[in-house]
Chain A
Amino acid sequence: MDIRVLGLGNVLMGDDGFGPFVIEALKAGYEFPPNVSVIDIGTPGLDLAPFLIGADAIIVVDTVRADGPGGAIRLYRREQILKHAPGLRLGPHDPGFKQALLTLEFAEMGPSQILLVGAIPALTVPTPFLSRPLRNAVPVAVHEVIEELDRLGSPARAKRGVIDVNPWWERAA
């Protein structure tokens, strides 16, 4: 089973970098079986489609526009995304995600299982740092991804010791 965990978002636009940050946290804290790819995919818009072709299941981590406080995590499944998509914040990857899924669905190349782990952003401005509420939401999103991998029968293994998450874009100038 080909499973892809994709972090979507722009790491230079504050909370929009949530998806890529969660990918860094997953890679720092866990080891994954060979059938699971964990990828910081940025904001590819429709160019997302080729990265979804051939996947049986995808887990997408992104920011979403929904009612609730900054940092709240919302989960969406395939049907909800395709029928009542939440607005994914910040242009370059909206409508890319839904459009890419619909295109692949039509071409019968799309993944059959989808989980979107969405975080409600607090602040999207040009900065390479997450706001405090979003930083606090990272472990919650990581937990949702790990649970989904368990459910899909491809569990990740937690690394031992103190885990330091230090993505390159947060290093000081």
Chain B
Amino acid sequence: MNSTTKKVQWSIEVGCLANRTYVNQTCSAMSNVYVGDGNYSAAYPNMSTSDSYTLYTTENNNYNIAGLWFGTPDSMTEFGYSGSSLECDIATNFRGLGLPWYEWNQFVSLLHKISASVSQGLECSENSCMLPQSCESYPELWSFQFTTRFDIATDTYFNVPFAAFSVTGTDQCEIFVQPLIADNYQLAENAVFGSMWLSNFVAYFEYDFSGISNTDSLMLFVSESAVNGTSISKVAPVNGTTSFSYTVESQIISVSVNSTNMAASINAELGY
């Protein structure tokens, strides 16, 4: 701690995590952690010029999410339901984007509505979603983005390209948007913004121990190694459904009745 100002600062820049030729991203910068009261503007020359926004934590050391959208910039769908609220943890030891079960199901449903090739090839598990061909084979996906609004009182939106959560492998495209399942996880109520999200920003923390007021803050600004399209914008998402226009074939819903215990169950494919 700086004994004069009673403040401490530290920062983390995750840096580029994967080469993604389908969005013209090639890794060069490495990750950095700085701790102490050094010269951060020298360490990050774009600190003062890049888009930035300052967040404050909740009592649980999380961050409020006032809105979370998925879609193309001209047609986005907001997650959640009327009256729902969401907090998120920003954590480097979580790989991609973790969503509670309800929101994750919404996400998978939306993915199915992007195109026939995506819908027919998509397989999702507890760890990721997989497409059977390389990410280059799905150009229709890479205009999509996640948009997050942290503070309902301020019109500032974090736009992170969907590509930031993808990695291409041998004839496969893996998408690290994961469900946080309450039966399996004790920490399933909040979203988790992991390294793939954070890699697009530099996180600069400043804590004030002077005791006058709680001004502990996290300033995020766009990293030089961010996926193209990352921004912290004042432009609100355009709500719409035109980016999700593919119609999945109709599914058969089966109803079974158990006459012994007088119970009925309805079965259908997930999420269409």
A, B: real partners: no
Taking Cβ atoms with an 8 Å cutoff, the residues of B that contact A are none
Taking Cβ atoms with an 8 Å cutoff, the residues of A that contact B are none
